[in-house]
Amino acid sequence: MTATFCEYKPGLEGIPVTKSSISFVDGQKGILEYRGIAIEELAKRSSFLETAYLLIWGELPSQQQLQEFQIDILFHRRIKYRIRDMMKCFPESGHPMDALQTSAAALGLFYARRALDDPEYIRKAVVRILAKIPTMVAAFHQMRRGNDAVQPNDELDYAANFLYMLTERVPHPLEAKIFDICLTLHAEHTINASTFSAMVTASTLTDPYAVVASAVGTLAGPLHGGANEEVLLMLESIGSVGNVEPYISNLIINKQKIMGFGHRVYKVKDPRAKILQELAVDLFSETGHDRYYDLALELERVIELKLGQKGIYPNIDFYSGLVYRKLGIPSDLFTPIFAIARVAGWLAHWKEQLAVNRIFRPTQVYTGQHDIAYISMSER
């Protein structure tokens, strides 16, 4: 028996799995770029759909390209009544991420053609997915409360329309703008777990709906996108500023992870967390203070004191929930909102993967035995 030796790295830490020009992270300096453009610049000057175009097609669109992209997406925002009917059968107590994963996969039933070498097929799939995912998230939210889904409003742009479908209220322009920036911040982040999941699925040459559905399932976990919901639950159970220190000490003594903190790549504060914090403050100055923000600040102070030397600082999931909470969004929709945004990154990596595809098929370090005799049932 010949043994091949490969260094095993748990979690593939530090192992490149692709060559990519989509985004760049410097975890020591706290730098994030999409297609070479600093995230701070995009947050200030771009929009989510323009950023999605940049990520997926590789460059900033001209005014006409952006307009066509926006119109295409607007045209495809509705979902088929059969999908709505299917969603009505989902249990209302089900988690919206499970509902989203199921609905995203169901798109493959309705748009079954698979022509991965046809640029027009790729373009249409991109548009359909970006357009319909927010509608499905909002529809499930309405249905679980016993309401019909709110139809998309053609007068509203991408971010405003999502908030409208969720609440049946046209949002204030500041709310829509802040939400749009949140989507931009979440759109892409190199080879995170859900993107890797999307790439592995893409590498089998399956359809893009399966690619997105597998990525949604991966994003849902509390070590990844699911942390944003957990952060709010944690703030709720801490309750007051005075409880922060003992609560955190207890978690650390019991070797439990503090949600919204730490990152495989960042050893400083996540640049997206900094921007989200600023957005939260902007929102509070317009709409009133949130006492959870005081808790969050104290949490950050205590964790920096206790774990800062290990490079554990707030990540993207720490401040996003405070912004969404102020926008009136229930906490179990925080991760689906992450998915609405991250679809842009998943699709960019899907396209990049198809261009140079080879199926992912890594190896293992076998730790079992060999030549074991089969024992018949009566002798076990």
For ligand SDX, which residue of 316, 329, 343, 348 counts as binding (CB under 6 A)? 316
72 given a catalytic annotation: no
Out of 317, 332, 349, 371, the active site residue is 317
CB atoms within 10 A of CB 319: 29
> Least distance to ligand SDX from the beta carbon of 156, Å?
27
* Residue 258 binding ligand SDX, by CB under 6 A: yes
Return the residues of window 142-201 that contact ligand SDX according to CB under 6 A.
Answer: 189, 192
The 3-state secondary structure of 53-122 reads: HHHHHCCCCCHHHHHHHHHHHHHCCCCCHHHHHHHHCCCCCCCHHHHHHHHHHHHHHHCCCCCCCCHHHH
DSSP conformation class of 171:
P
Residue placing its CB nearer to ligand SDX in the complex, 225 or 336: 225
Maximal CA-CA distance, the chain? 76
For ligand SDX, which residue of 44, 289, 291, 310 counts as binding (CB under 6 A)? 310
290 given a catalytic annotation: no
Give backbone dihedrals phi and psi of 348, rounded to 5 degrees, phi first. -60, -45
Give backbone dihedrals phi and psi of 345, rounded to 5 degrees, phi first. -65, -45
> Least distance to ligand SDX from the beta carbon of 247, Å?
13
For ligand SDX, which residue of 39, 97, 143, 312 counts as binding (CB under 6 A)? 312
Length of the chain: 380
For ligand SDX, which residue of 114, 123, 264, 274 counts as binding (CB under 6 A)? 264
> Least distance to ligand SDX from the beta carbon of 379, Å?
43
Alpha helices (H) in 145-270, listed in sequence order: 158-167, 173-186, 193-202, 208-219, 227-238, 244-253
Q: Map residue 26 onto helix, strand or coil.
A: strand
* Residue 267 binding ligand SDX, by CB under 6 A: no
From 1-9, 145-153, 201-209, 223-231, span contacting ligand SDX (CB under 6 A): 223-231
From 69-77, 81-89, 199-207, 255-263, span contacting ligand SDX (CB under 6 A): 255-263
CA distance 61 to 304: 41
Which residue is listed with tokens 């859900």? 194
From 54-62, 203-211, 217-225, 322-330, span contacting ligand SDX (CB under 6 A): 217-225
Residue placing its CB nearer to ligand SDX in the complex, 298 or 317: 317
Distance of CA 172 to the CA centre of its chain: 24
* Residue 42 binding ligand SDX, by CB under 6 A: no
Out of 186, 189, 224, 263, the active site residue is 263
For ligand SDX, which residue of 224, 325, 349, 351 counts as binding (CB under 6 A)? 224
* Residue 244 binding ligand SDX, by CB under 6 A: no
- On whether the CB atoms of residues 226 and 219 are closer than 8 A, the answer is yes
Count interface residues toward ligand SDX (CB under 6 A): 21
Structure tokens at 73: 């997406």
* Residue 260 binding ligand SDX, by CB under 6 A: yes
No. of H helices and E strands in the chain?
A: 16, 3
From 173-181, 209-217, 261-269, 367-375, span contacting ligand SDX (CB under 6 A): 261-269
- On whether the CB atoms of residues 110 and 80 are closer than 8 A, the answer is yes
Instruction: Give the footprint of ligand SDX on this chain (CB under 6 A).
Output: 11, 189, 192, 223-225, 227, 257-264, 307, 310, 312, 315-317
Active site residues: 263, 317
